[in-house]
Chain A
């Protein structure tokens, strides 16, 4: 049972344009969402997060939007740069505290072309 879904395995965007990566979840208990970025042969690195009490969080070129009623979140990257080419994972957590853990989606491979 995949509780966090990323239905687009890959995405290609031209440099300077907007990249939009989507994520859907099924577990209503999830209340914190994160995006991770992964380069080949490296571990994932934290990118940006959002609490369920918010609908938007922005950090530089990266913005995450949360639609709780639709159980959907998206990551916007503007403008996209070649160095953004990587696999992006959406992750979700239920509850807070030291016992909390992340459930990951299957990832979307972003390719930013010149």
Chain B
């Protein structure tokens, strides 16, 4: 079964450092989503791509977060500088025909900022 690949699985970084996460969606999935899940809360959408274009980044803290999907395939989410409150699970998901047909999520990256 096709999977969404994410790396790294775990990342510990010191505050004020830069950190980056990578996601490779299922082949053929044009829509890619980055979500953040803080412990005890539901996933919150950070950014949504359609191919290489950003569809929605209204909840992305743009002073420190950036996301790109240059060739419309894999994507990178970056945080610089990291803050203690950024500690969370960062989930990537992809979809072939939009949310109503369900996302496929990756296993996520667990970020701890110390």
Known: A43-B91, A46-B102, A104-B42. A99 touches B50 (CB 8 A): yes
> Does A100 contact B42, Cβ atoms closer than 8 Å?
no
What's the minimum C-beta distance from A102 to chain B, rounded to whole angstroms? Answer: 5
Which of A55-63, A70-78, A90-98 is the interface stretch?
Answer: A90-98
Known: A93-B99, A97-B98. A42 touches B50 (CB 8 A): no
Among the listed B99, B104, B108, which residue makes an inter-chain contact with A100, where contact means beta carbons less than 8 Å apart? B99
Cα-based distance from A37 to B106 in the complex (angstroms): 13
Among B55, B98, B99, B100, which residue has the most Cβ atoms of chain A within 10 A? B99
The count of chain B contact residues (Cβ–Cβ below 8 Å) is 32
A-B pairs under 8 A by CB, number: 76
Residues of the A chain whose Cβ atoms lie less than 8 Å from the Cβ of B4: 43
Residues of the B chain whose Cβ atoms lie less than 8 Å from the Cβ of A51: 100
Interface string of A77-110 (1 = CB under 8 A from B): 0000000000001000100111111111111000
Cα-based distance from A9 to B41 in the complex (angstroms): 10
> Does B110 contact A41, Cβ atoms closer than 8 Å?
yes
- CB of B72 within 8 A of chain A? no
Cα-based distance from A51 to B35 in the complex (angstroms): 23
Residues of the B chain whose Cβ atoms lie less than 8 Å from the Cβ of A106: 40-42
> B35's closest neighbor in chain A, by CB?
A104
Residues of the A chain whose Cβ atoms lie less than 8 Å from the Cβ of B30: 98
Cα-based distance from A95 to B73 in the complex (angstroms): 24
- CB of B67 within 8 A of chain A? no
Interface string of B4-42 (1 = CB under 8 A from A): 101001000000000000000000001101010000111
> Does B45 contact A43, Cβ atoms closer than 8 Å?
no
> Does A34 contact B43, Cβ atoms closer than 8 Å?
no
What's the minimum C-beta distance from A108 to chain B, rounded to whole angstroms? Answer: 10
Cα-based distance from A51 to B102 in the complex (angstroms): 12
What's the minimum C-beta distance from A64 to chain B, rounded to whole angstroms? Answer: 13
Cα-based distance from A41 to B91 in the complex (angstroms): 11
